[in-house]
Amino acid sequence: MTLQTSPERTEIPVRSASPRHILMCRPSHFEVSYAINPWMDPTVPVDQARAIAQWEIVRETYKRLGHRVEVIDPIDGLPDMVFAANGGIVHGGRALAARFTHVERQLEGAAYRAWFEAAGLTPAVQATHQNEGEGDVLTIGDIMLAGTGFRTSRDAHREIAEFFGVEVVTLELVDPRFYHLDTALTVLDDTTIAYFPGAFSAASNAVLQGRFPSAIIASEDDAAAFGLNAMSDGLNVIVSDRAVGLHEQLRQHGFNPVGVETSELLKAGGSAKCCTLEIRS
């Protein structure tokens, strides 16, 4: 008699959340008055009140989930300051403020450095090389993944490695729609990422496949909906409500997607993660 075997069931991992310390910036002066990425079109109207309301929902969601949220004062004339992730990198109590590529954002670097210093982060310095903070540098476990190709330079990757004393893995971005690493890849926990392969060079795809063979692979539609511009606490993933396919993939891997509407902020090329700088002290 031949025994029939049932197909193996893949168990959904049990995940847990860890509290985060987050810095955000209210979009009090948000507008799209210039174009420095493919998503920005100054001829498309922006509803500032709606942008503020959407940002408030993201902040309140973090607070409801038990995270500590601080807010840096917005500065008139710096409409993209809402995208706090770009303001710098904080790791082990050390802070490296951004040095922006485009002149429209360059004053933000000094503003974020001043906040880091006032918060008691030591040392708190501004990067020497072109460096757009957590927009291009994502921490996973004891390494940092660092994007290049459009904004942050390879020289900045070396500076980051020396300043923080960590391994930095360079990833080359090749699609201008995904101009920052945090638009093409999200860190979900200390070992798990989700990413869109089409945003990366062949060599960088090989690096990602080698280091993260069990990664969640996002579709182009979900990536273009800014689904990968997400913030995870290890269980809950604050993610664009438009990335419905990615929501289902996250559930299948034991994560809890929390959809947020960021349609106004998307007009400047950012969603939940762009609004979020993690303070790792």
- Report the alpha-carbon distance of residue 78 to residue 23 in Å, rounded: 17
Active-site choice (180, 247, 253, 275) = 180
Q: How far is CA 66 from the centre of its chain?
A: 19
Is residue 25 annotated as part of the catalytic site, yes or no? no
Is residue 274 annotated as part of the catalytic site, yes or no? yes
Active-site choice (67, 157, 247, 274) = 274
Residues tagged active-site: 180, 274
